[in-house]
């Protein structure tokens, strides 16, 4: 049995991407953006810049995803553009670090915020996070429509709560009106530019997850239309949401508080609505974490399945159940994410692979150019607008962020690169077993 059902609609794909993007980071990164830029207008410009760069990436990956609408997304088209090894290395680091570490971190974050509503011990917090991961893994194994249904519900709840918060900030707030008067901070040009760059980098990281819908390309209905629209619309929607939330926070809080807050969204809600506001933000964080955990489990298992299907991982994970869902891959991913949750090593692992994430983004950007040159006569179901400028812009930014990470966090970058390279002997082992070309 194979994954052959193309049941995911545009709404399903859109809710998947929005659910994964701007998860718990949406309640933290605005504070970083505000503190590093120093003004409301530069904060807004930082979000718009990050959104534009992310849109360039989404538009680029849309052409690749529409060309190869298969389970695994970048695993498939990086293998086609460069070599099977490069595709495997992406799948490997996603399988062992990126996806499970993200799932673990978000599950813990969700349970930690739940502890703000009712006190939870550390043991119950970790145990609850594991139960959440395994429970959602089992739910997703029950069928594609069930996966999409719970993803849609969780994302809609997240969006409704966030909309209520933003509207409340602008309707009932106003103590931060003076924050919008100065376009630039009272600082040197060098510090202003450096702060703006740091804000854009933080905002870019907050948008992580925009490739999620490419991982489920094999189950999208009319992928040449659905995938590009879902990626573009999701990036635009999350950019607008982040921009409005950040502006709402600045509108609600007095300037002296806005630029010196570690929990800026919660502080703004408490300032405007009192204790009720803090609880609404807590519920929004929990909903965001749940939507992201489910989306990551749902999409990530398709990479595990694709690796196993191609003989590059244990055959057991390639099994598809009666509902035509990779149930074993879901269970495998859930167990590994649960292990990372219990050990508490997920945060450090994720920090290490930041350089790898941007490296694979860069490779994906230039894969469009390579594939167009190599297969000039092939039909393309979808073409990125503004070719070759859009892919080159995104690829250049991704490469610059690889270099910036190497410069600012050399040891983390070296460890992260080493983690990626551990995939080489694994690839050779599985390739020799299945007689695949390297």
Res 39 pLDDT > 90 = no
Tell me how far apart the alpha carbons of residues 128 and 386 are, in angstroms, rounded to a whole number.
Answer: 47
List, in sequence order, every residue forming a beta bridge with 98; answer none if it has no partner. Answer: none
- Exposure b/e, 153-191, CB count within 10 A at least 16 = b: bbbebbbebbeebbebbeeebebbeebeeeeebeeeeee
Res 3 pLDDT > 80 = no
Peptide bond into 248 cis (omega under 30): no
Q: Please, which pLDDT band fits residue 437 given cuts at 50, 70 and 90?
A: low
Tell me how far apart the alpha carbons of residues 292 and 276 are, in angstroms, rounded to a whole number.
Answer: 24
Domain spanning 10-346: CATH superfamily:
Amino acid/polyamine transporter I (1.20.1740.10)
Q: What percent of the chain stands above pLDDT 90? A: 73
The string of pLDDT tens digits covering residues 273-332 is 998 998 999 999 999 999 999 999 999 999 999 999 999 999 999 999 999 999 999 999
Average pLDDT (201-212) is 92
Q: Which residues contact 254 (CB under 8 A, 6 or more apart)?
A: 175, 176
- Whether the Cβ atoms of residue 107 and residue 129 lie closer than 8 Å to each other: yes
Peptide bond into 290 cis (omega under 30): no
Q: Where are the domains of the chain?
A: 10-346
Which tops the pLDDT comparison, 298 or 256? 298
The string of pLDDT tens digits covering residues 104-151 is 999 999 999 999 888 889 999 999 999 999 999 999 999 999 999 999
Tell me how far apart the alpha carbons of residues 137 and 298 are, in angstroms, rounded to a whole number.
Answer: 8
């Amino acid at each position: 049995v194979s994954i052959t059902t193309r049941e995911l609609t545009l709404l399903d794909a859109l809710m998947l991407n929005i659910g994964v993007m701007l998860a718990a980071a949406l309640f933290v990164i605005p504070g970083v953006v505000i503190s590093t830029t120093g003004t409301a207008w530069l904060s807004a410009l930082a979000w718009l810049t990050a959104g534009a760069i992310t849109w360039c990436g989404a538009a680029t990956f849309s052409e690749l995803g529409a060309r190869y609408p298969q389970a695994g997304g970048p695993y498939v088209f990086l293998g086609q553009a460069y070599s099977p090894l490069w595709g495997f290395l992406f799948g490997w680091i996603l399988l062992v670090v990126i996806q499970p570490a993200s799932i673990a971190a978000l599950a813990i974050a969700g349970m930690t915020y739940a502890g703000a509503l009712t006190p939870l011990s550390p043991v119950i917090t970790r145990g609850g996070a594991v139960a959440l991961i395994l429970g959602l893994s089992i739910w997703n194994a029950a069928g594609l429509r069930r996966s999409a249904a719970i993803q849609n519900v969780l994302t809609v709840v997240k969006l409704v709560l966030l909309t209520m918060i933003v509207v409340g900030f602008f309707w009932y707030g106003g103590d931060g009106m003076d924050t919008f008067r100065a376009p630039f901070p009272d600082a040197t040009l060098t510090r202003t530019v450096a702060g703006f760059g740091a804000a854009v980098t933080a905002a870019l990281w907050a948008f992580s997850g925009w490739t999620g819908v490419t991982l489920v390309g094999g189950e999208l209905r009319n992928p040449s239309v659905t995938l590009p629209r879902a990626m573009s619309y999701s990036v635009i929607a999350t950019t607008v949401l982040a921009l409005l939330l950040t502006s709402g926070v600045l509108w609600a809080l007095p300037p002296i508080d806005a630029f010196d807050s570690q929990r800026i969204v919660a502080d703004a809600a408490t300032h405007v609505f009192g204790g009720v506001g803090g609880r609404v933000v807590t519920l929004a964080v929990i909903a965001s974490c749940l939507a992201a955990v489910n989306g990551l489990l749902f999409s990530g298992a398709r990479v595990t399945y694709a690796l196993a299907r191609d003989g590059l991982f244990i055959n057991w994970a390639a099994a598809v159940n009666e509902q035509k869902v990779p149930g074993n891959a879901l269970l495998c991913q859930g167990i590994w994410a649960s292990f990372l949750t219990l050990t508490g090593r997920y945060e450090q692992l994720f920090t290490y692979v930041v350089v790898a994430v941007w490296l694979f983004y860069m490779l994906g950007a230039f894969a469009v150019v390579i594939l167009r040159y190599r297969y000039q006569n092939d039909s393309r179901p979808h073409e990125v607008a503004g070719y070759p400028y859009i892919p080159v812009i995104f690829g250049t930014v991704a490469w610059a962020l690889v270099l910036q990470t190497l410069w600012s966090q050399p040891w983390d970058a070296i460890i992260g690169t080493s983690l990626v390279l551990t995939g080489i002997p694994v690839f050779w082992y599985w390739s020799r077993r299945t007689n695949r070309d390297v």
